[in-house]
Structure 1
Amino acid sequence: STTAWGVPAQPGAPAAGHTALEGTTAEGAARPAPARPTGSGGHGRRRRPGSGHGPGGVAERTGSPIIEPGLRPAALTLALAVLLAVAAPLGGFAVLVPLLLLQALTAAGWYRLNGMWPARQGIALAFLAGVSADAALLTVREEHTDTALLGTLGIWVLLVLLLQLRNRGSADERLHALTAGVAATVLTVFAAGFLAAADVRWEAVSIGAAAVAAAVPLRALPLPGLPSAVLALLAAVGAGLGAGWLTGVDDAGFAALVGAAAGLCALVGLRAASYDWPSRFVHMTAGVSLPLALAAPAVHVLASVL
Structure 2
Amino acid sequence: MSSDQQYPYGQQHGQQQPYPPQQYQDPYQGQQPHDGQYDPSYAQEPYPQQSHPQQQGYPQQPQQQGYPQQAHPQAAQTWEGETWDTQYQPVLPPEQTPVAADTAYLPVQGAHPLPPETPAYAEPAAEPVAPNGSAATGAPAGEGYSTPTVGGNTRITDAQRARAEGRSPIIPPGIQPAGLTAALGLLLAAGAAIGPYALLVPLVLLQAVTAAGWFRLNGMWPARQGIALAFAGGLAADAVLLSVGRENAPAAIVGTLGVWVLITLVLQLRSRAGADERMQGLMATVALAALAILATGHLAAADDAVVIGGIAVAVATVARALPLPPVASVVLSLLAATGAGVAAGGATDIGASGALLGLTAGVLALVGLRVASYDYPSRFVHFTAGVALPLTAAAPAVYLIGRVLV
Give the stretch that moved more between structures: 52-61 or 237-246.
52-61
* Residues 1:58 and 2:159 aligned together: no
Question: Does 1:98 find its partner at 2:235?
Answer: no
1:274 corresponds, among 373, 391, 394, to: 373
Looking at structure 1, the residues matched to 324 and 187 of structure 2 have their Cα atoms a distance apart, in angstroms, of 27
1:168 aligns with 2:272: yes
In the alignment, does 2:249 pair up with 1:148? Answer: no
Aligned length: 259
Q: Which amino acid in structure 2 is aligned with residue 72 of structure 1?
A: Q
1:51, distance to aligned residue in structure 2 (A): 4.3
Provide the rounded CA distance (Å) in 2 between the counterparts of 1:170 and 1:119.
16
Task: Name the structure 2 match of 1:292.
Answer: 391
1:220 aligns with 2:324: no
Contact 2:140 2:146 in 1 (8 A): no
Amino acid at match of 1:223: L
Query: Could you say which residue in structure 2 is the equivalent of 1:7?
Result: none
Paired AA for residue 237 in structure 1: T
Residue by residue over 1:104-152, the C-alpha shift from the partner in whole angstroms, topping out at 9 and shown as x without a partner, is 0001111110111111110000000000011111111332111111011
What amino acid sits opposite 2:208 in the alignment?
A
* Pairing of 1:146-295 with structure 2 (within 5 A): 146-197=250-301, 201-250=302-351, 252-253=352-353, 255-295=354-394
- Runs of 4+ with deviation above 6 angstroms: 52-55
TM-score by length of 2: 0.61
Instruction: From 61, 78, 81, give the equivalent of 2:182.
Output: 78
The 1-side partners of 2:370 and 2:364 are apart by 10
Of the three residues 131, 141, 149, the one matched with 2:235 is 131
Counterpart position of 1:10: none
Q: Which runs of 5+ in 1 are unaligned?
A: 1-31, 41-47
User: Could you tell me how far 1:37 is from its partner in structure 2?
Assistant: 5.9
Q: Which amino acid aligns with 1:94?
A: A
TM-score (norm 1): 0.80
Query: 1:247 Cα shift?
Result: 2.2
Tell me how far 1:249 sits from its aligned partner. 2.6
Q: Which structure shows the bigger proportion of residues in helix conformation?
A: 1
Partner of residue 6, structure 1? none
For 1:145 and 1:236, locate their aligned partners in 2 and report how far apart those are by CA, in whole Å: 26
- If asked which structure has higher relative contact order (CA below 8 Å, sep 6+), I would say 1
Query: How many Å separate the matches in 1 of 2:221 and 2:365?
Result: 25
Q: Which runs of 5+ in 2 are unaligned?
A: 1-129, 131-138, 163-167
SS in 1 for 2:230: helix
For 1:178-198, what per-residue CA distance to the aligned partner results, in whole angstroms no more than 9, with x for missing partners?
01000000000001100000x
Computed over aligned residues only, the root mean square deviation of the Cα atoms, in angstroms, reads 2.0
Percent of residue pairs bearing the same amino acid type: 58
1:157-180 Cα deviation digits (max 9, x unpaired): 110111101122222111110010
Q: What letter corresponds to residue 193 of structure 2 in structure 1?
A: P
Contact residue 191 and residue 293 of structure 1 kept, 8 A: yes
Deviation at 1:59, TM superposition (A): 2.1
TM-superposed CA distance for 1:52, in Å, is 7.4
| Equivalent residue letter for 1:225 | P
Distance 1:222 1:245 in 2: 30
